[in-house]
Structure 1
């Protein structure tokens, strides 16, 4: 731990020591949806918090099933006052949670009482935690779409700089020419899992400056220009399929295997696969590899992103307990201030002091793609957005199939728009 992070941790502990005098021993009931490697890392953070705050605050953690089961249970439990004191949440689902009355506002006073402030977090994540300027979530990380690459293959092709990072990938024509260079003899220029192609398309839509949702202007893809930008983005990925740069149908495990077996120099996927490649490399089962932000194929740098965040359920009818709330806020602050360990899962800390620390900058490849935290494109602020929500269904029903030739790109874009607007 560097001096800066050590000072941060000591300051956090000292602040808590002062604050803890205001309330007796507290048990904070915690719900999350984190399984696999994420779950292991979060369990370790909870254990570390409990050990450090013995006699003051104890987190009582429970992990529930990801997706619809988690969000449904939290909503129904909060409605009858039986929800937890704190829960993890995806920022993309905040508008829906607020619309259903599931979450409690987190005020500036709540934040200040825990020694944190709005300015301590990335602007993109902080804004995504608010609805109409009111905060309902404190971001913990940003996770998003990145480009994994095979250093050996790129070095042989003269596309690797002295710093070990790819060179010359920006620009659609240029990138397509590179993909063509690696395609053939049973190999593909890029591996893009069919079920996740919508994230690439949304990223390319963002790189064109497209507006996905504007309630005042008519809803989803409010102008013909926005619809054209979505169509352009679909055609880019469909073009990779049509040109043989990527398989027509390939789901996540097979797409990962294409990359890890050396059959493709590039793999587009979320940063959550970083631990997979770290483990394979440690066992001597993977080439030298890296990960960077998505190439800029249009005008702007942009990549699909979401965030794990912390929320406080409204718990209808349950008496407010200021001491419990202060304890919950201390938990949130501590987790963010110790999120370097969480970055081991590939995520980018939303807490500026950690993301800008020497320890994080030394963490590879995470620090090589951390820039997407500042140019992230989150789901639009609508109750239809987020994991296990109608927006995800629309991507799957119209946009992913358009990349495989089942629907014409322009038709897919229009059908997605009409479907979503019909649900508003």
Structure 2
């Protein structure tokens, strides 16, 4: 073999090694999220599309659990230096991390990104604390009222039954219980925390003032809303206590056709429609004393501890995830709100709006939708609210007494966190 030929082979080998090395040098972004089942398939599709267009970036996605699970795991991972690079964070609870320097200030990225002009104002607003962007919106939602048309018909209720006030909802739930209770069907699912927040707002109050941060847990209208919610379980007995101690149990019973009415996120539309088919009906949340609903969902934040090149790659994915193409896929599959003004014009979104009755209800609620407080104490308040709610709903404590105590505890915790 000639030296010239040997040199050519060596050069080819070196070239091959170099190309393999370049392929191996793809930037990996570790991404934690909270989506499984129908929603999980949608996020997987978005990630696959992004990676196909960006072969130099590998999104290492991991389903962690619900929003609470993500907060708990992130708090444990940070001191252990095992945090992800990008993470889904619920819109009221990321302040805990933003205010402690754990999240990257995304303002320089966002200001230079044409995406900012394509997002709805309501979506952009949820990612801002003190004028700085810490998360970019991904899955925005409001609560809506779902009901099972077949159960209504069997209970002698028309599909046009008024469900606007607390009294009207209770009346329908009592009718269902009275007619179908012997078959193991409940009138209504105990409201989950997102719905509870929405019902407080429907009663013209708030848990925490979104502008001033004032704790409003012990205000009369807040107390009145919780008294009504708790009465569904322990007094009127139209809601099963199973949904109090395990919110998923209430949702699953509704999906199984064992509950007539459920208030839950529009982000659950996809799985709910899949379970109930044509028996699903969707209405706006009630307007008991006010027509007002909370904006929920989450955005994607980037950890300040990640290397700069990883942060850059992560933001490229974050931006794509809110693009018209990705957002249209997400909206059509899940029922979460469009956050990009251009999404609804894409074929997949148009098809969903034309063929999936009720998917547009949350969009119609947007004029009444409002962002919520995201001060540092909100994470503690939301975690603690679960046990307070259980005590009220199970009849273990008076609602007014419980909420006054809860308000004082929250104010004390807020003071502690500010020191």
- Provide the TM-score with structure 1 as the length reference: 0.76
Q: CA deviation at 1:374?
A: 4.8
Shift of the 261–47 alpha-carbon distance from structure 1 to 2, 3 Å rule, reads closer
C-alpha RMSD of matched pairs (Å): 3.2
Matched, 1:168 2:162: yes
Counterpart of 2:31 in 1: which secondary structure?
A: strand
Partners of 1:150 and 1:287 within 8 A in 2: no
Which residue pairs with 1:97 in the alignment?
97
Alignment of 1:148-187 (within 5 A): 148-154=146-152, 157=156, 159-160=158-159, 166=160, 168-187=162-181
Taking the aligned partners of 1:101 and 1:407, their CA distance within structure 2 comes to 39
Partners of 1:33 and 1:64 within 8 A in 2: yes
Counterpart of 1:87 in 2: which secondary structure?
A: strand
Taking the aligned partners of 1:204 and 1:98, their CA distance within structure 2 comes to 28
Which residue pairs with 1:22 in the alignment?
none
Q: CA deviation at 1:158?
A: 5.6
Taking the aligned partners of 1:217 and 1:58, their CA distance within structure 2 comes to 41
Shift of the 292–325 alpha-carbon distance from structure 1 to 2, 3 Å rule, reads same
- Partner of residue 318 from structure 2, selected from 324, 332, 342: 332
Matched, 1:300 2:278: no
Partners of 2:157 and 2:172 within 8 A in 1: no
Which residue pairs with 1:415 in the alignment?
405
Taking the aligned partners of 2:247 and 2:213, their CA distance within structure 1 comes to 35
Matched, 1:259 2:254: yes
Partners of 2:85 and 2:314 within 8 A in 1: yes
Shift of the 299–391 alpha-carbon distance from structure 1 to 2, 3 Å rule, reads same
Matched, 1:290 2:290: no
Taking the aligned partners of 1:116 and 1:217, their CA distance within structure 2 comes to 29
Which residue pairs with 2:390 in the alignment?
400
For each residue in 1:77-113, what CA deviation from the matched residue of structure 2 results, as whole angstroms up to 9, or x when unmatched?
7xx7x85543322222221111221111122x52354
- Provide the TM-score with structure 2 as the length reference: 0.77
Partners of 1:28 and 1:85 within 8 A in 2: no
Which residue pairs with 2:377 in the alignment?
384
Shift of the 143–70 alpha-carbon distance from structure 1 to 2, 3 Å rule, reads farther
Shift of the 373–70 alpha-carbon distance from structure 1 to 2, 3 Å rule, reads farther
Taking the aligned partners of 1:86 and 1:208, their CA distance within structure 2 comes to 37
Which residue pairs with 2:130 in the alignment?
132
Shift of the 422–355 alpha-carbon distance from structure 1 to 2, 3 Å rule, reads farther
Taking the aligned partners of 2:73 and 2:248, their CA distance within structure 1 comes to 25
Taking the aligned partners of 2:85 and 2:327, their CA distance within structure 1 comes to 20
Partners of 1:85 and 1:312 within 8 A in 2: yes
Q: CA deviation at 1:173?
A: 2.8
For each residue in 1:36-70, what CA deviation from the matched residue of structure 2 results, as whole angstroms up to 9, or x when unmatched?
2233322221111111233xx42331316342443
Partners of 1:125 and 1:307 within 8 A in 2: no
Number of equivalenced pairs: 371
Q: CA deviation at 1:407?
A: 0.9
Q: Which has the larger radius of gyration?
A: 2
Taking the aligned partners of 2:141 and 2:33, their CA distance within structure 1 comes to 15
Matched, 1:361 2:358: no
Shift of the 358–408 alpha-carbon distance from structure 1 to 2, 3 Å rule, reads same
For each residue in 1:144-181, what CA deviation from the matched residue of structure 2 results, as whole angstroms up to 9, or x when unmatched?
43222112344564632xxxxx5522123333333333
- Structure 1: tracts of 5 or more residues without a match: 1-24, 161-165
Instruction: Identify which range, 142-151 or 414-423, moves more after superposition.
Output: 142-151
Partners of 2:256 and 2:275 within 8 A in 1: no
Alignment of 1:8-157 (within 5 A): 27-37=27-37, 38-54=39-55, 57-63=56-62, 65-66=64-65, 67=69, 68-72=71-75, 75-76=78-79, 84-107=84-107, 109-117=108-116, 119-154=117-152, 157=156
Taking the aligned partners of 2:210 and 2:251, their CA distance within structure 1 comes to 38
Which residue pairs with 2:17 in the alignment?
none
Higher relative contact order (CA 8 A, sep 6+): 1
Taking the aligned partners of 2:412 and 2:300, their CA distance within structure 1 comes to 31
Alignment of 1:155-304 (within 5 A): 157=156, 159-160=158-159, 166=160, 168-187=162-181, 190-193=187-190, 196-214=191-209, 219-221=214-216, 227-241=219-233, 242-250=235-243, 251-252=246-247, 254-256=249-251, 258-281=253-276, 288-302=279-293, 304=294
Q: CA deviation at 1:128?
A: 2.0
